[in-house]
Structure 1
Amino acid sequence: MRGQSYVILAIIFVIIVAVFAIINVDPVEVNYLFGSGEAPLILVILFSVLMGGIITASVGLMKIIHLQRERKSLIAENNQLKESVEENHTTDVENEENLDSEKNNL
């Protein structure tokens, strides 16, 4: 259900951007770092939306990668702590058995 809502929102966003871009077809001057040129406003709008999507996706992907690495290290730490607890429990049981046998010998 959650995935469907994302698809519906994406379709609505695309329709809004497309209508907005079709309304604005006048040529505009675009200033680049190395010069300037004219381009239809529809291309400038679509290019800006595309670059915004790419940047947003890149940031999201970096966050996902970071969280996956953190999850992996936390799982390793959790496994290490479980092993430590099991070792301590085994040692405690052995110590209790030794104490019981010493009490029985007295």
Structure 2
Amino acid sequence: MRGQWSLILGLVAAVVIAIFAVINVEAVRVNYMFGVAEWPLILVILGSVLMGAIIVGAVGMLKIYQLQAEIKRLKNKQNDSTKELNHQSNEAKKAAGKSKIKTEKEERFQSKEKNE
């Protein structure tokens, strides 16, 4: 649903920009760093919108790349933590098993002493 709303808003914005550009068709003077030219205002408006969209898209792609790298880093950290937790759990089970064996041996020894 979110994608549909984004598409609708994008189309509405494109229509508004197109109407605005078509209304402004007179030639304007554009100063470059290296020269001057006469361009129709419609091309200046559409060119500016296109450059803005490219810049916003590039920044968005950069942010997505950064977030994907962070997700990968956090997944690796989670896997390392899970491995460490499993290792500690196994060590605790081994230790509990050894202490249980010791306790059983002590009980047998004590019952032998009582019997004698």
Q: Distance in 2 between matches of 1:32 and 1:14?
A: 27
Q: Distance in 2 between matches of 1:104 and 1:23?
A: 94
Q: Percent identity?
A: 41
Q: Distance in 1 between matches of 2:33 and 2:45?
A: 18
For residue 38 of structure 2, give the secondary structure of its aligned residue in structure 1: strand
Correspondence for 2:60? 60
Correspondence for 2:32? 32
Correspondence for 1:14? 14
Alignment deviations for residues 37-56 of structure 1 (CA, whole Å, 9 cap, x no partner) = 11000000000000000000
Q: Distance in 2 between matches of 1:37 and 1:44?
A: 11
The AA in structure 2 aligned to 1:37 is A
Q: Distance in 2 between matches of 1:102 and 1:34?
A: 89
Q: Superposed, which structure 2 residues align to 1:1-106 within 5 Å?
A: 1-106=1-106
Q: Distance in 2 between matches of 1:33 and 1:68?
A: 39
Structure 1 length normalisation: TM-score? 0.97
Structure 2 length normalisation: TM-score? 0.89
Cα distance, 1:65 vs. partner?
Answer: 0.4
The AA in structure 1 aligned to 2:6 is Y
Cα distance, 1:102 vs. partner?
Answer: 1.0
Unaligned residue ranges in structure 1 (runs of 5+) = none
Unaligned residue ranges in structure 2 (runs of 5+) = 107-116
